[in-house]
Amino acid sequence: MHSSMETGLRQNRPRVIVVCGPTGIGKTRTAIQLAERFHGEIIGADSMQIYRWMDIGTAKPTPAEQACVRHHMVDIVDPDTPYDAARYARDAGNVIRELHDRGVVPIVAGGTGLYIKALIYGLFDSRPPDPDIRRSLEDLADAQGPSYLHTQLAACDPQAAAGIHVNDRFRIIRALETYQATGRPISDHQRQHRFAQPRFATAKVGLIMPREDIYARIDRRVDQMVAEGLLEEVRSLLARGYGAELKSMQSIGYRHMADHLIKGVDWAETLRLLKRDTRRYAKRQLTWFRADPEMVWIAPDQIESLQPGLASFLTNGQPIINTQRGANGNV
């Protein structure tokens, strides 16, 4: 089985299995199952699992899970290191080519849609950052806060603003910088880039289940993270000098624990907000992935039904076809 797949893998572009879906749905378990079945290794596509010392709140693969199958793009930078989709596309792309050369199936697994899109299609070619424009916007962000810049972005590029969190200072500044430097919204550049040819052949598997099941899993996961020591993990990060203002520390879970520790937000309210915001994040993830017409949706417990199609894809490049609709998760 493996020899014929290895022959297929070495022909033409690398063939990559992509496993994605909302947070808490079981992407890691599914990716491990596929890696064991197809002689693969896993490439994380999670913008938080790249950070060292941020394990519990990111639901990072456990040591036992990483011992089962080799994982890449996990624990690669410190929490204060700038890292973006362009760097991810370069680094993860290098891993895919290395696995391809070894005849190993690359299995990309994660919930950061922008990372996956950048990896497969690359990012649009934008001009290098303008130091003067960047400095001016940085100064404005320092004085007025990122929400002020987000309001400016919404005025000139509402489409981009709708897809960028109000606290995501880096992406807000990059979008405004692109508009000021080129006279065109960054969303226009991105729309034009959608016609680029993919760098890899992909079989995209989206995991889905009914909304109430996803929300119940999210609530259980939050409770489990707290039981495993999420608060202590954040306390330790703060003690290491990683301030609450860092991009990594502004993510779901970490900002909630930091607000409890620093601002004294009530514990019950902290947990309520964490569960609410995680559900909202899951909804945004599904909105992103559902826009991809190549996605094949399936319930996690039905993944075995796709294995013959995935084997055919790896051997001869034939696209996978979903023979069943799976669960209809209207999140």
Answer yes or no: is pLDDT of 186 > 80: yes
Rg (the chain; Cα; Å): 20
The more confident residue out of 131 and 299 is 299
Q: Name the token pair of 327.
A: 């669960």
Rounded mean pLDDT of 121-142? 80
Mean pLDDT on 23-30: 97
Round to whole Å and give the CA distance between 10 and 14.
7
CA-to-CA distance for 32 and 95, rounded, in angstroms?
A: 17
- Residue 248: DSSP 8-state: G
pLDDT of 288 higher than 60? yes
The residue among 151 and 182 whose pLDDT is bigger is: 151
3-class state of residue 108 by DSSP:
strand
Its pTM stands at 0.81
Contact between 302 and 30 under an 8 Å Cβ cutoff? The reply is: no
Q: Indicate the range of 15-19, 105-109, 192-196, 229-233 predicted with least confidence.
A: 192-196
What's the chain's average pLDDT?
91
| pLDDT score for 326 | 42
What average pLDDT does the segment 192-213 reach? 88
pLDDT digits (tens, 9 = 90+) for 47-86: 999 999 999 999 999 999 999 999 999 999 999 999 999 9
Q: Is 25 exposed, middle or buried (0-12, 13-18, 19+ CB in 10 A)?
A: buried
The pLDDT of residue 55 is: 98
Going from the N-terminus, what domains does the chain have, and what CATH number goes with each?
2-122+197-316 (3.40.50.300), 131-193 (1.10.20.140)
pLDDT in tens, 240-262: 999 999 999 999 999 999 999 99
What residues have CB less than 8 Å from 104, skipping those under 6 apart?
A: 9, 39, 40, 41
Instruction: Band the pLDDT of 325: cuts 50, 70, 90.
Output: very low
DSSP annotation of 62: P
Distances (CA, A) of 292 to 13, 93, 151, 160: 21, 20, 28, 18
Q: Do residues 10 and 103 touch, judged by C-beta distance below 8 A? A: yes
Examine the pLDDT at 133 and tell me if it is beyond 70.
Answer: yes
Q: What are the beta bridge partners of residue 202?
A: 16
Nearest to 165 by CA among 178, 155, 154: 154
Instruction: Name the DSSP letter for residue 72.
Output: E
pLDDT at 158: 92
Residue 327 has pLDDT above 50, yes or no: no
pLDDT level of residue 165 (50, 70, 90 thresholds) = confident
Number of C-beta neighbours around residue 330 at 10 A: 9
- Residue 305: the pLDDT is 95
Q: Which residue has the higher pLDDT, 178 or 110?
A: 110
d(CA 151, CA 324): 43
Predicted pLDDT at 10: 47
